[in-house]
Amino acid sequence: MIKSIFRLLTIAFVLGIAWYPATAQVSITTLGSPGAYTQDFDALGTGNFSLTDNTSIAGVYAFRASGNAIPNVFAASTGSTGTGEFKNYGSAGNLERCFGALASGSTNTMFYGVRFQNDSGVSISSLEITYTGEQWRTASGTPQVITFAFSQSAGDITDLTTGTYTNVPALDFTSPVNTTPASGIDGNNPANRQTLTASFLVSIPAGGEVMIRWADVDDTGTDHGAGIDDLRVVARSGTTAANSSMSGQVRNAEGRGIGRVRVMLSGGNLSQPLYTVTSPFGFYHFPDLETGQAYLLRVQSKSYVFENPERFISLGESLSNVDFVATP
């Protein structure tokens, strides 16, 4: 019996089978929508989750500028507490989770992200990122921002702070609820979440890597609590065929662009609506939409009224002038 057990252990060792999770960044082998990476973070479960970088969840990293630990613990939270720590947000007992943090006290900035390796055999020239930012706690009358950035390299990228990180403002998540007194809120409520999507240029050779990250700073005063969910990453090369896109401008009667207007896209083959907000000059953009589908486009604003706030569009090709004009 002892010899049999020893033999099994020897075979397991030789084959590389172990009780320790394999360490592996996310491998990009297929470009375009068919190779999209998706992550809903439901693997966090309903209790506290101990995250070891690039091991507990393949490619996923976390780092706190002060008091970092190995592993970092993501505390299960409904948003009811304001303790500064990484957070595993979600309703009590609900397996639908959100990967986030509350930067407060001695944490300083808190980073979390995902590491990818280009195993496609060709150079990657652009990334398209879609994710939903969710706010689970409101504690201040001032909007607070979780910033998105990326770092690329021909070699390995092994942490969230070394090297050059480039911000992509279109993917920054700004707290939609800014009220006091401090309290937990439901991050799955549409009013407390926002889906963001944007494409940006990169240059990642075959075998190279890219790290995408979110940074939550310790804001002045009391901090909100928020995180990310439903991440989708699509890598493309210069020869990868893309679907169509839809873009336009939201402006007032005088022709001036209106920033921070919420734009929703639904229908087609979308499993759930996409949301974005207009840039300071009123522009919005929805990339990678399947051609031949019928979509509903809607603008939503508390400050402006639109005579035609909805458009039904049968998308045959990319459209760049789907504009909305507010009434005087």
Q: What is the DSSP string of 197-223?
A: EEEEEEEE-TT-EEEEEEEE---SSSP
User: Domain boundary residue among 176, 209, 236?
Assistant: 236
What does pTM read for this prediction? 0.71
- Alpha-carbon distance of 324 to 192, in angstroms, equals 24
The single-letter DSSP state of residue 169 is G
- Alpha-carbon distance of 267 to 262, in angstroms, equals 17
Domain count within the chain = 2
The single-letter DSSP state of residue 121 is S
Do 230 and 248 fall within a single domain? Answer: no
- Alpha-carbon distance of 88 to 69, in angstroms, equals 16
Q: Which distant-in-sequence residues (6+ apart) come within 8 Å of 305 by Cβ?
A: 326, 327
Question: Does residue 12 fall inside a structural domain?
Answer: no
User: Domain boundary residue among 197, 214, 236?
Assistant: 236
Question: Does residue 11 fall inside a structural domain?
Answer: no
Looking at residue 77, its pLDDT comes to 97
CB atoms within 10 A of CB 158: 15
Looking at residue 293, its pLDDT comes to 86
Do 231 and 170 fall within a single domain? Answer: yes
Do 232 and 256 fall within a single domain? Answer: no
Written as six digits, the tokens of 188 are 């799955």
- Alpha-carbon distance of 306 to 327, in angstroms, equals 6
Looking at residue 200, its pLDDT comes to 86
Looking at residue 23, its pLDDT comes to 54
Q: Per-residue pLDDT tens, the chain, 328 aa: give them.
A: 444 434 433 433 333 333 233 457 999 999 988 899 999 999 999 999 999 999 999 999 999 999 899 999 999 999 999 999 999 999 999 999 999 999 988 889 999 999 999 999 999 998 999 999 999 999 999 999 999 999 999 999 999 999 999 999 889 999 999 999 999 999 999 899 988 888 888 999 999 999 999 999 999 889 999 999 999 999 998 755 457 889 999 999 998 999 889 999 999 888 788 888 888 888 999 888 888 889 999 999 989 999 899 999 988 888 888 999 999 8
Question: Does residue 15 fall inside a structural domain?
Answer: no
- DSSP-based three-state secondary structure for 191: helix
* Length reported for the chain: 328
Measured CA to CA in angstroms, residue 23 lies from 13, 96, 206, 230, 297 at distances of 16, 25, 20, 23, 42
Do 108 and 225 fall within a single domain? Answer: yes
Looking at residue 172, its pLDDT comes to 93
Looking at residue 215, its pLDDT comes to 97
Do 68 and 116 fall within a single domain? Answer: yes
Do 108 and 167 fall within a single domain? Answer: yes
Closest CA to 213 of 178, 284, 162: 162
Helices in the chain by DSSP H: which ranges? 2-15
Looking at residue 3, its pLDDT comes to 41
Do 159 and 181 fall within a single domain? Answer: yes
Give the domain extent around 72.
26-236
Contact at 8 Å (CB) between 65 and 101?
A: no
- Alpha-carbon distance of 154 to 238, in angstroms, equals 18
> Tokens 């990319």 identify what position?
318
User: Domain boundary residue among 236, 265, 300?
Assistant: 236
Do 143 and 47 fall within a single domain? Answer: yes
- The angle at the Cα of 178, spanning 177 to 179, to the nearest 5 degrees, equals 110
> Tokens 């973070």 identify what position?
41
What's the CATH code of the domain at 127?
Answer: 2.60.120.200
> Tokens 């909007």 identify what position?
143
- DSSP-based three-state secondary structure for 34: helix
> Tokens 């979440």 identify what position?
193
